[in-house]
Amino acid sequence: MFLDVVDWLKGSGKYSTSVPAMDGALKANDALDAADELYRGTQPDNLVHFGGAAHFSIGNEVLRLDLGEVPRVSSVAGFRADVTCLAAVDEQLAVGLESGEMRILGGRFDGAMIDRVGDRQTKAPVAARFENAQTLLLALGSQNYPPSAWKRDLMEGNASGSVWRIDLSSGKSKLLCDHMAFPYGIDLVSGGAIFVSESWRHRIVDISSERPRVVVDDLPFYPARIAATSGGDVLVCGFAPRRQLVEFILREKQFLRRMMSDIPERYWMAPALSSGRDYWEPFQVGQIRQHGILQPWSPTKSYGLLATMDIAGRFLRSIHCRAGGLRHGITSAIESGSQIIMTSKGGGMVLAAQAREA
């Protein structure tokens, strides 16, 4: 208790605002700038394999991407609200919507809609994965806000997310893990474990056992979707970097309160999918252009990162898009042959990079 007070006064321990450096396998590079651009649209997200091709969402539409000489994109389905997550197995496609419900298209449960699990409404479906044709793992990001209000959920420090296992044939659901801080990504990895990326706590946990086990903690970025590769590794997308100033602001309650009530969300000092285009965005000293150049290591609210990690939590490789770049906000990625396809939600592009690089 006394040590706690000392920590609070000194700004150390639990109250420390330091952020780990991106080093080792996470050392910064510009490889994302060299990735191929497959498609350009407004905030693409939610890449998933379905019916032999990659599918992703833009706004309230689900689109199919056919790779070939020239990548072709065609619309598959449209919905009332924006699509927030996609999952697929065989001919079934599960679509999560901004309005809160999950819809199943195709297969045995075509037309089914899930809007309640256990004791609560599905307010924010942000990630999903079919375990088999009739079992769906569903991650709800928050019980306070819909997915589009993720920034408010982060800055308030909420941890009201949960992961459920839903039996589609009986409709029964089982709570796998509660009080999660925005479980943004979920996947089954080799060995049978269920990895979930807990964004606001910047860590990846394994919830397959009774007590959740932390796979890797204290990440220097906020993890988004994760995807298991055929080689037994896991792709981890980072949609924004952690900043020391944001960590500091999260601990300044009065300032936070006034910022969230007086200032529009796009001008908050908070992680963002893209940044640097508006003069009124919050600015940090290290961003000042020296001799006309914005240094790539300057503090930035948005960043582009795709990393490969083994199932023990050690990072192997990574590709980055640094400060001042356009390909920020990498939210989802899938393996496609020898390539990795990913969505840059902040840059508005679907990109492809060689698998051995990332």
Partner 1 sequence: MSFAAVLSRARYRYLPEHQIRELLLKPWIDTAIPATVLLFAFGTFGVILSDFFTAGNLSDTARQLGEVGFLTLGEMVVILSGGVDLSIGSIYGLANFAAIAALLGFHLPVMVALLVALLLGGAIGLVNGVLVGIWKMRAFLSTLAVLIIGRSVQESLALHYGASFLTDSGGFDLWYWFGDGSILGVPVSLAMLLLAGVSTHFLLTRTSLGWHIQAVGGSRKAAYNAGLKVSTTIAFCYVFSGLCAGMAGFLYSARVANPGSEVGVGFEIVALTAALLGGNSIGGGRGSASKAILGSFIVILIINSLVAMGLRSGATNFVLGLVLLCAVLIDIRWAKTRSKILARVYVSPTYFHPLPLPSIRPDDQTIFAINDALSNTEPIGLGKLDGPEDVIFDSKEYLYTVSSTGDIVRLSPPDYAEPEIFAHIGGQTLGIAMDANDTIHVCVSGMGLYAVGRDRTVKKLSDEVPRSLFSIRDDSRIRFAHDLDIAPDGLVFFSETTARFDTHDWAADSLEMRGNGRLLVCDPRSGKTEVVLRDLIFPNGVCVETNGLSLLVAETWPCRVSRYWFDGPRKGQLERVVENLPGFAANINRSSDGNYWLAFLGVRTPLHDLAMQMPGFRKRMAQRVASDEWLYPNFNAGLLVKFSESGEILECLWDGGQRHATLTSVCEHRGYLYLGGIFNNRIGRIRLPDANPNWTMNQSYWGPMPYWGPMRCS
Q: How many CB atoms lie within 10 A of CB 213?
A: 11
Contact (CB, 8 A) for 249 and 325:
no
Which residues neighbour 69 within 8 Å (Cβ) at sequence distance 6 or greater?
A: none
Q: Is 250 in the site for partner 1 (CB under 8 A)?
A: no
Among 6, 255, 265, 314, binds partner 1 (CB under 8 A): 255
Q: What is each CA distance from 83 to 63, 78, 101, 140, in whole angstroms?
A: 11, 9, 10, 14
| Encoded tokens for 35 | 């990735």
Among 42, 192, 280, 356, binds partner 1 (CB under 8 A): 280
Q: Is 30 in the site for partner 1 (CB under 8 A)?
A: no
Q: Is 23 in the site for partner 1 (CB under 8 A)?
A: no
| Encoded tokens for 311 | 């199932």
Tell me whether residue 116 or residue 253 sits nearer to partner 1 (CB atom): 253
- Shortest Å distance, C-beta 30 to partner 1: 19
Q: Is 8 in the site for partner 1 (CB under 8 A)?
A: no
Q: Is 149 in the site for partner 1 (CB under 8 A)?
A: no
Among 287, 331, 339, 344, binds partner 1 (CB under 8 A): 287
Q: Is 285 in the site for partner 1 (CB under 8 A)?
A: yes
Name residue, tokens 């606001």. 200
| Encoded tokens for 133 | 């044709």
Burial letters 259-286, b for 16+ CB under 10 A, else e = beeeeeeeebbbbbbbbbeeeeebeeee
- Shortest Å distance, C-beta 142 to partner 1: 24
Q: Count the alpha carbons within 13 Å of 286 in the hemisphere toward its beta carbon.
A: 12
Q: Is 258 in the site for partner 1 (CB under 8 A)?
A: yes
Q: Is 283 in the site for partner 1 (CB under 8 A)?
A: yes
Q: Is 289 in the site for partner 1 (CB under 8 A)?
A: yes
- Which window, 123-131, 138-146, 200-208, 249-257, contacts partner 1 (CB under 8 A)? 249-257
Q: Is 143 in the site for partner 1 (CB under 8 A)?
A: no
Q: Is 20 in the site for partner 1 (CB under 8 A)?
A: no
Tell me whether residue 5 or residue 285 sits nearer to partner 1 (CB atom): 285
Site for partner 1 in 216-245 (CB under 8 A): 243-245
- Which window, 37-45, 129-137, 199-207, 285-293, contacts partner 1 (CB under 8 A)? 285-293
| Encoded tokens for 249 | 């602001």
Q: Is 291 in the site for partner 1 (CB under 8 A)?
A: yes
What residues are paired with 217 via a beta bridge?
none
Q: What is the DSSP letter of 188?
A: E
Q: How many CB atoms lie within 10 A of CB 128?
A: 26
Backbone φ and ψ of 232, nearest 5°: 90, 5
Q: Is 254 in the site for partner 1 (CB under 8 A)?
A: yes
Q: What is each CA distance from 227 to 86, 181, 196, 275, in whole angstroms?
A: 13, 19, 10, 26
Q: How many CB atoms lie within 10 A of CB 292?
A: 5
- 236/318 Cα distance (integer angstroms): 9
Site for partner 1 in 161-220 (CB under 8 A): none
Among 3, 11, 37, 172, binds partner 1 (CB under 8 A): 11
Name residue, tokens 């208790």. 1
Site for partner 1 in 294-313 (CB under 8 A): 294, 299
Tell me whether residue 178 or residue 281 sits nearer to partner 1 (CB atom): 281
The site for partner 1 (CB under 8 A) is made up of: 11, 17, 243-245, 248, 252, 254-255, 258-259, 262-264, 267-269, 279-292, 294, 299
